Amino acid sequence: MDFTSQQRLDDGVLERRFTLDDIPGVLWTPEPARTPSPLILLGHPGGLDRMYPRLVGRARHCVAAGFAATTIELPGAGDRPRSEAVEQARADLQRALRAGEPVPGEVVDRLVLPLVEAAVPEWRAALDALLALPGIGGPVGFSGGIVSIAVRLALVEPRIAAALLFAGSVVPTAILADARRVTVPLLMLLQWDDEGNDRQMALDLFDALGSPEKTLHANTGGHTGVPGFEGDDANRFFVRHLV
Amino acid sequence: MDFTSQQRLDDGVLERRFTLDDIPGVLWTPEPARTPSPLILLGHPGGLDRMYPRLVGRARHCVAAGFAATTIELPGAGDRPRSEAVEQARADLQRALRAGEPVPGEVVDRLVLPLVEAAVPEWRAALDALLALPGIGGPVGFSGGIVSIAVRLALVEPRIAAALLFAGSVVPTAILADARRVTVPLLMLLQWDDEGNDRQMALDLFDALGSPEKTLHANTGGHTGVPGFEGDDANRFFVRHLV
């Protein structure tokens, strides 16, 4: 892990950019450091530069509650090499959506499963590197999307003690099967009027999740309209389970 | 309105029992009084004595956040006179549930609509009397069930500025129509595994509600298994909208 730049934000947050095996990432920590901060992994749909304004807002909110926050670029997003097969699946998905047709399960599988298979080991490698830094402690929370990555990580990575899932993308059947075996406390956020999201698919995923403690927060509004108070709810959820 | 008894609870709460036109009720206020406290109406399924332990717990939680809280007995519950027609509808409902059959809409209508028609004017009369007391101010929140009473009250009573709906009872089609015209901020609580509640009916009601700000909190567990943290979430919801 190589730190490539750092800056102090104006509200007591140190932002450090890094690369880990050519994967770009960002780490936000309290400044001055409080030791050790539980770590929140911030999920996103890919494209760190495009997502930066929203990510830094979420990260500041995490740090204000005493957490460190981090994220890494997704496979095939930003400047990372594209997978031809995944791009073909994305085109197939968008064609079905434009035509108002149901998205075939095999298209969902071709789009999401390779992403999950590639991303999960990268997030775990990032955890190995980040948890070795001074000032970063366990346990770890995952917060955001892509929801299939979150579910698989929550299932296979024992250092993840709680997860906030942002329901906003199609879910392969294999991930529904994973979901039944997840046991960590979960908070799922659902935007009730999300144009690009299948509400029933999200409710089916919530129903499938095996965790004894799971909570769904659904709000009116579209994909990017999550109300500000959900940021506070998210912090309280992670404080309950990570602190 | 006649106060019939009062006692000081051990955590700075004054509990006063009252009757209003032969309807028994309870009022909980901060002691010593802070003036004026916004008022939360605590809904329940009927039977004040049976429900008292849970009601006083909810009331204490409200008072701890700076609210006054109150409730009145429902028509046909506790010692109040039964309606033969409603009791017949309740028996019809229970027979259908025991047989595992869908509950006919006309049974739901016969059970719930007379209760709504009778209860809503009583809650409004209670508001008239309670808001005239020193130390009780507006605005007013409704919190709990029966969800159909909550929806009708939120629609017709302008002093209600926010409502927390506890989804746990059958909903007539006429109330779904009311729901589309409700505009106050709403928080709906749904117990995902509620044995006696139709989950899809609750989701349909949430979908129908017309309020620009509405939030659904769904949790694993049965009807009485609402997690303790939802009490804090409820207080924060009412602080956002009533204070």
| Residue (of B122, B11, B10) closest to B70 by Cα position | B122
Q: Which residues of A touch B211 (CB under 8 A)?
A: 220
**Model-level pTM?**
0.94
Task: Identify the residue among A220, A226, A237, A241 best suited for mutation to test binding to B, counting B beta carbons within 10 A and taking the highest.
Answer: A220
B33-42 in b/e form (b: 16+ CB < 10 A) is eeeebbbbbb
Residues on chain A touching B227 (C-beta within 8 angstroms): 213, 215
Give the pLDDT confidence score for residue B11 in this predicted structure.
86
How much is the mean pLDDT over chain B? 95
Do B155 and B181 touch, CB atoms closer than 8 A? yes
The gap between the terminal CA atoms of chain B, to the nearest Å, is 26
How many interchain CB pairs under 8 A, A with B? 49
Which residue does chain B place closest to A233, by CA atoms?
A: B233
Q: How far is A43 from A164, CA to CA, in rounded Å?
A: 10
Report pLDDT digits (tens) over A22-81.
999 999 999 988 779 999 999 999 999 999 999 999 999 999 999 999 999 999 999 999
Asked if residues B211 and B186 have their Cβ atoms less than 8 Å apart, the reply is yes
ipTM (interface pTM): 0.91
Length of chain A counted residue by residue: 243
* B100-137: pLDDT as tens digits: 898 999 999 999 999 999 999 999 999 999 999 999 98
Helix or strand (DSSP H, E) at B169: none
Q: Which residues pair with A191 in a beta bridge?
A: A219
Q: CB burial class (10 A; 0-12, 13-18, 19+) of residue A78?
A: middle
- ∠ CA B216-B217-B220, nearest 5°, is 135
Cross-chain Cβ contact B216/A211 below 8 Å: no
Please list, in sequence order, all residues whose beta carbon lies within 8 angstroms of the beta carbon of residue A131, skipping any fewer than 6 positions away: A39, A137, A138, A140, A159
Q: Which residue type is seen at A71?
A: T
Residues 6+ apart with CB under 8 A from A90: A111
Rounded to a whole number of angstroms, the CA Rg of chain A reads 17
The string of pLDDT tens digits covering residues A182-237 is 999 999 999 999 987 889 999 999 999 999 999 999 999 999 899 999 999 999 99
Residue B180 pLDDT = 98
pLDDT of residue B32: 86
Q: Which of A215, A219, A240 sits opposite B219 (nearest CB)?
A: A215
Smallest CA–CA distance from B226 into chain A, residue: A215
| Selected residue of B183, B192, B220 to mutate for chain A interface (largest A Cβ count, 10 A) | B220
User: A128 or A102, which is more confident?
Assistant: A128
The answer to whether the CB atoms of B220 and A236 lie below 8 A apart is no
- Give the span between the Cα atoms of B97 and B40, in whole angstroms: 33
How much is the pLDDT for B112?
96
pLDDT > 70 in chain B, percent: 100
DSSP for chain A, please give it: -EEEEEEEETTTEEEEEEEETTEEEEEEEESS--SSEEEEEE--SS-HHHHHHHHHHHHHHHHHTT-EEEEEPPTTSTTSPPPHHHHHHHHHHHHHHHTTPPPPHHHHHHHHHHHHHHHHHHHHHHHHHHHTSTTEEEEEEEEES-HHHHHHHHHH-TTEEEEEEEE-S---HHHHHHHHH--S-EEEEEETT-TTS-HHHHHHHHHH---SSEEEEEESS-TT---THHHHHHHHHHHHHH-
Residues of chain A contacting residue B208, judged by C-beta atoms under 8 Å apart:
none
DSSP string, B70-135: EEEPPTTSTTSPPPHHHHHHHHHHHHHHHTTPPPPHHHHHHHHHHHHHHHHHHHHHHHHHHTTSTT
Point out the residue among B206, B217, B232 whose CB comes nearest to the CB of A215.
B217
Q: Percent of chain A at pLDDT above 70?
A: 100
Answer whether the bond into residue A32 is a cis peptide, omega within 30°.
yes
> Which domains can be identified in chain B, with CATH numbers?
2-78+120-242 (3.40.50.1820)
Q: Longest Cα pair distance anywhere in chain A, in angstroms?
A: 53
Per residue in B51-94, pLDDT tens?
999 999 999 999 999 999 999 999 999 999 999 999 999 999 99
pLDDT attached to residue A74:
97
- Kindly identify which residue of chain B lies nearest to residue A193, measuring between CA atoms: B207
Residue B34 has pLDDT above 80, yes or no: no
Give the C-alpha separation, A20 to A50, whole Å.
20
Q: Across the interface, do A217 and B217 touch by the CB < 8 Å criterion?
A: yes
| Minimum distance, in Å, between the CA of residue B33 and any CA atom of chain A | 30
Q: Distance (Å) from the C-alpha of residue B180 to the closest C-alpha of chain A?
A: 14
A interface with B, Cβ–Cβ < 8 A, is: 192, 203, 206-207, 211-220, 227, 229, 232-233, 236, 240
In angstroms, the CA A35 to CA B7 distance is 48
A20 vs chain B: nearest CA distance in angstroms? Answer: 38
